[in-house]
Amino acid sequence: MSASGPPASSAPGAPRAPGSPEVPNPLRLLRAGERGVLIETEAARTHDVVRLLSSSPWDALLESTVPTRATVLAVLRRSEDVPALVAFLASSSASASAPVSADAIRELPSSAGFDGANPTEMGNSRPTSSTGSGDSALGGSAASTEPLPREIEVVYDGPDLDAVAELSGLPRDEVIAAHSGAEHRVGWFGFAPGFAYLDTDYPDSAAPALALPRRASPRVRIDAGSVAIAGGQTVIYPGGTPGGWHLIGRTDARLWDLERDPPALLDVGERVRFVPVERLTDHLQRAEATPPDARDSSGPELRILAARPGATVQDGGRTGWTRFGVTVSGPADRAAFDLANRLVGNPAGTAAIEVTLGGLAAVADAGADAGRWMSLTGAPAPVTLDDHPVADTALFWVPAGARLELGTPPIGVRSYLAVAGGVVTARVLGSMSTDTLAGLGPAPLAAGASLALGDPSGVDPDSPAASSASAADSAAAAAGTASIATAADSAGAARRIPVGPTTVRFTWGPRDALLTPHDRATLTASTWRVSAQADRVGVRLEGAIVGSASGDLPSEGIAEGAIQLPPSGEPIVFLADHPVTGGYPVVGVVVAADLGLLAQARPGVEVRLRPVGGAGLLHDGMRVAC
Coil/strand/helix, residue 513: helix
Cα–Cα distance, 266 to 196 (Å, whole number): 7
* Residue 95: closest CA among 22, 187, 38, 46: 22
Provide the pLDDT for residue 264: 92
Residue 442 CB partners (closer than 8 Å, separation 6+):
290, 293, 312, 313, 425, 426, 428, 432, 434
**Domains identified in the chain and CATH numbers:** 8-145 (3.30.1360.40), 156-276 (2.40.100.10), 301-494 (no CATH), 502-619 (2.40.100.10)
Alpha helices in 24-65 (DSSP H): 46-53, 58-61
Phi, psi of 130, deg, nearest 5: -70, -10
Mean pLDDT (whole number) for 553-578: 92
Q: Are 42 and 25 in contact (CB under 8 A)?
A: yes
For 70-114, how does the pLDDT look when each residue is reduced to its tens digit (9 = 90+)? 899 999 999 999 999 998 888 776 433 333 333 333 333 333 333
What is the maximal distance between C-alpha atoms in the chain? 84
Would you say residue 467 has pLDDT above 80? no
User: 347 preceded by cis ω (within 30°)?
Assistant: no
Would you say residue 404 has pLDDT above 70? yes
Highest-confidence segment of 293-297, 397-401, 486-490, 549-553: 397-401
* Residue 1: closest CA among 127, 93, 108, 95: 127
Q: Are 137 and 94 in contact (CB under 8 A)?
A: yes
Residue 221 CB partners (closer than 8 Å, separation 6+):
240, 241, 242
Cα–Cα distance, 5 to 575 (Å, whole number): 39
Burial of 543 (0-12, 13-18, 19+ CB in 10 A): middle
- Residue 255: alpha-carbon gap to chain centroid: 19
Q: Are 206 and 178 in contact (CB under 8 A)?
A: yes
Which residue type, as a one-letter code, is found at position 24? P
Would you say residue 476 has pLDDT above 50? no
Mean pLDDT (whole number) for 342-367: 93
Provide the pLDDT for residue 5: 29
* Residue 188: closest CA among 179, 180, 199: 199
Burial of 277 (0-12, 13-18, 19+ CB in 10 A): middle
Provide the pLDDT for residue 192: 86
Cα–Cα distance, 229 to 244 (Å, whole number): 9
Residue 565 CB partners (closer than 8 Å, separation 6+):
546, 549, 550, 571, 572, 584, 585, 586, 587
Which comes out higher in pLDDT, residue 23 or 327?
Answer: 327
Confidence class of residue 16 from pLDDT cuts 50, 70 and 90?
very low
Coil/strand/helix, residue 585: coil
Least confident of 148-157, 488-497, 509-518, 585-594: 488-497
Cα–Cα distance, 319 to 65 (Å, whole number): 10
Question: How distant, in Å, are the alpha carbons of 23, 358, 376, 416 from that of 355?
Answer: 51, 6, 10, 6
Would you say residue 540 has pLDDT above 80? yes
One-character DSSP codes across 389-415: EPS-TTSEEEETTPEEEE---SS-SEE
Coil/strand/helix, residue 52: helix
One-character DSSP codes across 96-161: -SSPPPHHHHHTS-TTTT-----GGGG-S-----TTS----STT----S--PPPEEEEEB---TTH
Residue 488 CB partners (closer than 8 Å, separation 6+):
none
Q: What angle do CA 97, 98, 100 make, to 5 degrees?
A: 130
For 216-261, how does the pLDDT look when each residue is reduced to its tens digit (9 = 90+)? 888 888 998 999 999 899 999 987 778 889 999 999 998 899 988 8
Which residue type, as a one-letter code, is found at position 533? Q
* Residue 236: closest CA among 152, 176, 166: 152
Cα–Cα distance, 98 to 119 (Å, whole number): 16
Burial of 72 (0-12, 13-18, 19+ CB in 10 A): buried
Confidence class of residue 551 from pLDDT cuts 50, 70 and 90?
low
For 177-230, how does the pLDDT look when each residue is reduced to its tens digit (9 = 90+)? 999 999 999 988 988 898 999 999 998 888 899 999 988 888 888 998 999 999
pLDDT-above-70 percentage for the chain = 76
Confidence class of residue 466 from pLDDT cuts 50, 70 and 90?
low
Cα–Cα distance, 489 to 494 (Å, whole number): 9
Q: Which residues in 576-601 are b (16+ Cβ under 10 Å) and which e?
A: bbbbbbbbbbbbbbbbbebbbbbbbb
The 3-state secondary structure of 293-335 reads: CCCCCCCCEEEEEECCCCCEEECCCCCCCHHHCCCCCCCCCHH
Q: Are 322 and 268 in contact (CB under 8 A)?
A: no
Provide the pLDDT for residue 291: 47
